[in-house]
Amino acid sequence: MKMLKKVLILTAKYGNGHVQVAKTLEKKCKDLGFEKIVVCNLYSESFPIFSEITQYLYLKSFSIGKQFYRLFYYGVDKIYNKRMMNLYFKMGHKRLHQIVKNEQPDMIINTFPMIVVPEYRRKTGTVIPTFNVLTDFCLHRIWVHENIDKYYVATKNVKEKLISIGISPSTIKVTGIPIRTQFEQTLNTAEIYNKYNLDPTKKTLLIMAGAHGVLKNVKELCQAFISKSTNTQTVVVCGNNSLLKESLETLSLSYPKQIKIMSYVERIDELYRIASCMITKPGGITLTEATALGVPVILYKPVPGQEKENALYFEEKNAAIIVNQIEDIFDEVNNLLGDEKRLKQMKENIKKIHIPNSADLILEDMLKEASYIRDKKLMIGSVNY
C-alpha cells in the first residue's frame, strides 16, 4: 500500500475545541511521517472580518446572546435543506480550491462542520477522501453530507443518531474525541501537589472558566467556597481572560491557603489528576479530558446548543451534575465532596465514557479508508480509459 503523503486539516476558532482536536491530529500525522500537513482555519483565511465578528458573537452567546444561539443551533436543523443554507455551503470555496490546487492533499480532515468541502466534490467532481471528526457528544445535522466518506464520533449514541437520519453504519466509527497524549500518561500526584503548592490532605475543587474565561459568576462561586468551606481548596483556571484573573487576585491574596488563581495552564492534566471534582462548562474537549482522568464534573449554566446537549448526555450517564442557579451550586458541590460513595461512583461512571488513544484509532482507520477510496478511483479511471 502506497503511503499517503499529504493531509489537509480544516478547523475553525469557534471555541477552543475544534482547534485543539486539529492540533492533536496534526501531531499524530507528524508521528506517522506525513510529508506535508496543512492546518487551515478556512473561514478566517477566506473572510477574516466576518470570521472575527462571528467568533465574537459566538463567545457572547455564553452571556447575553443565549437566545440568539439557541435559535441558530436548533433552527439550522429545520432549514437544513432549504435555500437559506446555500451561502454556508459556498463559504470558503475559492480558498479551498487554491489549497487543493497548490497542496494536492491525499485526504481532508474536518474538525469543524465545513460543508464547503463535500460540496466542492459535488460541484467539481474532485474526489479527495474526506472525513469528519465530530467534537461533541451530540449530533448536529450541519456535520452531515452525502459526500463525507466517514464520520468519527464520540459515542454509540451519536452513531445511532447518524444511522437514524440515513447514514450508513459502515461510514461511522466510534473512536472517542482526540485529546492530547499527556492525558494518557501516568504521573506522580505527590509531585503535582508540590508543584502547585497545594495541600494533599484537602479536597481540591477545580473551576475551569474555559479557554476564553467565559464561565459565569466565577467570583461569586469562589466567595461562596471561601466563606463556607474550610476543608476545600479551590483552584481557578481563567484561561486567556486577564480581566477575570485580575478580579480574583484580591481573593487569592487574602486567602492564599483556600484559593489559587491561574491563567492559561498548558499542563492542565496535572490539575485534573488532583481534582476531587470540577466546575466547568460542558465543551466536548473538556469533558473528554475529564473522562480520561475520571474527574466528576459540575456543569454550571450550560448554554443552549451543543454544550447543553453534552451536559444532558453526561447527566444521563450519572457522570455529571447540572446546576443552573448560583445559589444551588455550593450545596451540590459540598454534598458531592462529602459523599465518598457517590464521588467514587461518579468517577467510575465518567471513566466508562472514555475511549483511550482516539487519535491513533482515527488516523489508522482514515489511512485504510483513504487508500481504498484512492485505489477505487484509480480502478474506475483505468476502466473508463
Q: pLDDT of 331-347, one tens digit each? A: 899 999 999 999 999 99
Task: Yes or no: say if 300 and 329 are a contact pair by the CB < 8 Å rule.
Answer: yes
Q: How far is CA 11 from CA 92, 113, 114, 132, 285, in A?
A: 12, 8, 8, 11, 14
Q: For residue 213, what pLDDT band results from cuts at 50, 70 and 90? A: very low
Cα–Cα distance for residue pair 383/184, rounded to 1 Å? 47
Q: CA separation (Å) from 236 to 93, 205, 209?
A: 42, 8, 7
User: Coil, helix or strand for 207?
Assistant: strand
The rounded distance, in Å, linking the Cα atoms of 43 and 13 is 9
* pLDDT at site 94: 86
> How far, CA to CA in Å, does 61 sit from each of 79, 87, 271, 309?
21, 22, 28, 15
What are the grid coordinates assigned to 150, written together?
A: 466517514
CA-CA distance, 364 to 130, in Å (whole number)?
15
Length of the chain: 385
Cell numbers describing residue 81: 435543506
More confident residue, 221 or 144: 144
* pLDDT tens, position by position, 89-111: 667 788 899 999 999 999 999 99
Domains of the chain with bracketed CATH: 6-176+356-384 (3.40.50.2000), 182-353 (3.40.50.2000)
For the residues 260-286, what does the mean pLDDT come to? 94
Phi and psi for 210 in degrees, rounded to 5? 95, 160
Which pLDDT score is estimated for 154? Answer: 98
Least confident of 6-20, 120-134, 145-159, 190-204: 6-20
Share of residues in the chain with pLDDT > 70 (%)? 83
| Set of cell numbers at residue 235 | 483552584
CA dihedral of 356, 360, 366, 367, whole degrees rounded to 10: -160
* Residue 80, CA atoms < 13 Å, CB-side half-sphere: 12
Q: Across residues 40-57, what is the average pLDDT?
A: 66
Q: Give the pLDDT confidence score for residue 1 in this predicted structure.
A: 42
CA dist list (Å): 31 to 27, 28, 196, 265, 371: 6, 5, 31, 24, 19
Give the model confidence (pLDDT) of 338-374 as tens digits.
Answer: 999 999 999 999 999 999 999 999 999 999 999 988 8
Whole-model pTM: value is 0.88
pLDDT mean over 154-170: 97
CB 173 within 8 A of CB 150: yes
The C-alpha cell of 290 is what?
475529564
- Which of the two residues, 194 and 14, has the higher pLDDT score? 194
What's the pLDDT score for residue 43? 77
Amino acid at 280: T
User: What string of DSSP letters covers 246-298?
Assistant: HHHHHHHHH-TTTEEEES--TTHHHHHHH-SEEEE---HHHHHHHHHHT--EE
Cα dihedral 217, 315, 273, 180 in deg (nearest 10): -100
How distant, in Å, are the alpha carbons of 211, 265, 298 from that of 326? 21, 26, 12
Choose between 182 and 90: higher pLDDT. 182
What average pLDDT does the structure give for the chain? 86
pLDDT above 80 (res 313): yes
Q: How far apart are CA 362 and CA 349, in angstroms?
A: 24
Are 210 and 181 in contact by the 8 Å Cβ rule? The answer is no
Q: What pLDDT does residue 304 have?
A: 83
| 3-class DSSP assignment, residue 356 | coil
- With 0-12 CB in 10 A as exposed, 13-18 as middle and 19+ as buried, what is 82? exposed
Rounded Cα distance, 11 and 4, in Å? 21
Mean pLDDT of 181-201: 94
Cα 341 from Cα 319, distance rounded (Å): 13
Q: How far is 260 from 277, CA to CA, in rounded Å?
A: 16
Q: Which of 136, 146, 14 is nearest to 80 (CA)?
A: 146
Average pLDDT over residues 53-58: 57
Query: Could you please report the per-residue DSSP string of 300-350?
Result: ESPPTTHHHHHHHHHHHTTSEEEE--HHHHHHHHHHHHT-HHHHHHHHHHH
Residue 4 above 50 pLDDT? yes
